[in-house]
Amino acid sequence: MRIYVLGIRGFPDVQGGAEKHCEALYPRIEKKDFDITVLTRKPYIRNWRQNSSWKNINFRHLWSPTQKSLEAIIHTFWGTLICIKSQPDIVHVHNIGPGLFIPLLKLFGLKTVLTYHSENYLHQKWGKIAKIILLLGEKTSCTYADEIITVSKNIQKHIKEKFDRNSHCIPNGVAISPKITDNSYLNALNIKSGKYILSVSRFVPEKGLHHLINTYSKLDTDWQLVIAGDADHETNYSKKLKSQAKHTPGVCLTGYITGEQLNQVFSDAGLFVLPSYYEGHPIALLEALSYGLSVLVSKIPAHTEINLAENRYFKLPNEDQLAEKLNYFIKKGRLSERESTEQIEYIKKTYDWDNVADKVAEIYTEMMK
């Protein structure tokens, strides 16, 4: 069965929740005798001329602009034309913006699946016109897609109430990575082992990193604040955030990191914090939990679905409450070995990528019967 994947920048090692989702998912689905082709965006793929496949996943690298307002829509239109010409068995579209083209795919007889990752029009980075297009994409994709997958119960409920559509709720998974003792990357950045707050995030307003840096600047602590991530597209907000970090003693920006470097940063953190205003289903939080880290996150539906203890949540934009809880968990320190082990086992059992792949593959199979 031939599956074409549309709506993401590509992988491996490309920043973004949907990209991480697909990077983990499709190699597992390919092992179930599916022929997977991902339509990528050339500006985000290193050495794209030499990389036509990865882990038996086929790539078709397409040109796209790098302007945030044009990138997705132009790439998806171009990818839609290729799907119409190639006639795969199923086109799997990720995100509601690219879902704008699902009616066109349907018009040419293609079966479609939508994975609804987040209500993108709620993100502060988008202007008025972009939000209108995203709302239109939500309407067309949720109306015409043959099957809809949501990554959270909250989004599933939203689709049912707004469009009276049933959907499959399949949360993101997480791969359990063994903690490592090599601190060479941390040492190179002068990061103190076990005595730092970690946040992993894109530099966009809805992630709330400005609250975290501002609150941290008022703490009386010898812990550092390490933020791993960067902006997809440089904006006034991302420039201001980097300046804010640069002028706040104790803050370290690593930039976007993956692999061994990210493993080191997760392995040795004392506390993980995610101050988002909005998430679809936060892979970064699942990763932090999979390392057995103590965590502190904003009280939003996507976070409360993960069922943390109540004192692990704080309300935004209440920086006083955030400061109080940061002080408390810094003083408390890391989880005990027993608490850490129990947490890792729970995450391993509940958010397993192999189970996610089984459920998505079952949807594909049922669609073709």
Q: What is the pLDDT of residues 304-320, one digit of tens each?
A: 999 899 999 999 999 99
Decide the pairing of beta strands 57-62 and 53-54. Answer: antiparallel
The CATH code of the domain that includes 106 is 3.40.50.2000
Give the pLDDT mean for 162-172: 97
Do you find a cis peptide bond into 317, omega within 30 degrees of 0?
yes
pLDDT > 90 in the chain, percent: 89
pLDDT tier at 269, thresholds 50, 70, 90: very high
Taking alpha carbons only, the member of 192, 229, 198, 193 closest to residue 212 is: 198
Same domain, 239 and 340: yes
In a domain, 154, yes or no: yes
Same domain, 132 and 216: no
Quote the pLDDT of residue 182.
85
Domain range for 216? 184-350
Instruction: Return phi, psi of residue 338, to 5°.
Output: -65, -50
In a domain, 309, yes or no: yes
Q: In what order do the strands lie in the sheet with 57-62?
A: 53-54, 57-62, 35-41, 2-6, 90-94, 111-116, 147-150, 168-169
Same domain, 192 and 310: yes
In a domain, 139, yes or no: yes
Give the pLDDT mean for 136-165: 97
pLDDT at 124 over 90: no
Give the pLDDT mean for 237-252: 97
pLDDT at 125 over 80: no
Angle in degrees, 0-180, between the axes of helices 153-163 and 128-144, rounded to the nearest 10: 80
Same domain, 87 and 223: no
pLDDT at 221 over 80: yes
Quote the pLDDT of residue 41.
96
In the chain, DSSP finds a helix count (H) and a strand count (E) of 14, 14
Quote the pLDDT of residue 179.
79
pLDDT at 181 over 90: no
In a domain, 179, yes or no: no
Q: Which CA distances in Å does 325 have to 167, 280, 341, 343?
A: 37, 24, 23, 20
Tokens of 232: 């997809």
Quote the pLDDT of residue 121.
83
Residues 21-75: tens digit of each pLDDT: 999 999 999 999 999 999 999 999 988 888 899 999 999 999 999 887 789 999 9
181 by Cβ neighbours in 10 Å (0-12 / 13-18 / 19+) ranks as exposed
Comparison of pLDDT for 68 and 232, the residue scoring more: 232
pLDDT tier at 127, thresholds 50, 70, 90: confident
Neighbouring-strand partners of residue 113: 92, 147
Same domain, 54 and 135: yes
Whether 199 contacts 295, CB under 8 Å: no
Mean pLDDT of the chain: 95
Same domain, 200 and 156: no
Taking alpha carbons only, the member of 270, 357, 362 closest to residue 24 is: 357
Give the pLDDT mean for 222-232: 96
Quote the pLDDT of residue 67.
81
3-state secondary structure of 164: coil
